[in-house]
Amino acid sequence: MLRVVFDSNVYISVLLFDGLPRVILELARKRKVTLVASQAILSETARKLREKFRWPEHNIQKFLRQTSHLAELVNPEETLNVIVGDESDNRILECAVAGQAHLIISGDKHLLKLGRFQNIPIKKLKYLTYLVKEEK
């Protein structure tokens, strides 16, 4: 099964927009893909929802509970410093390595510019469109 790490912006897209992000989340619910996450990614997502989107705390807590239940949570033991200038991007890489991910999905320019890390491709969300087609 495909093991995928989402960055915080992808989770926010899932929460705020219809379309492909929600379809991918449904694939995870149906166990067609395995979402791999870490506490650092979930905390970053919660912070953005709180500060940028002014989400109510009870909605944020609901998201955290549901995602923690849906995803395989990993605790990275290695601290990376690959991306200089945006420390949170390194947390994505740490999660992917610790969770033996096959793919990182991100909209972040630093990660996308890197393109691949330790043989793990870094792609935009649209890259997963083929999963949706296979599901139909």
pLDDT of residue 134: 59
CA 54 – CA 48 distance, rounded (Å): 8
> Which one-letter DSSP state was computed for residue 54?
-
Structure tokens at 113: 């510019």
Q: Where are the domains of the chain?
A: 2-135
pLDDT of residue 3: 95
Q: Is the pLDDT of residue 136 over 60?
A: no
pTM of the model as a whole: 0.90
Q: Which residue has the higher pLDDT, 24 or 51?
A: 51
Fold of 2-135: Rossmann fold (3.40.50)
> Which one-letter DSSP state was computed for residue 3?
E
Q: Is the pLDDT of residue 81 over 90?
A: yes
Q: In 10 A of CB 49, how many CB atoms?
A: 22
Give DSSP secondary structure letters for 112-126: HHH-EETTEEEE-GG
Alpha carbon distance, N-terminus to C-terminus of the chain: 17
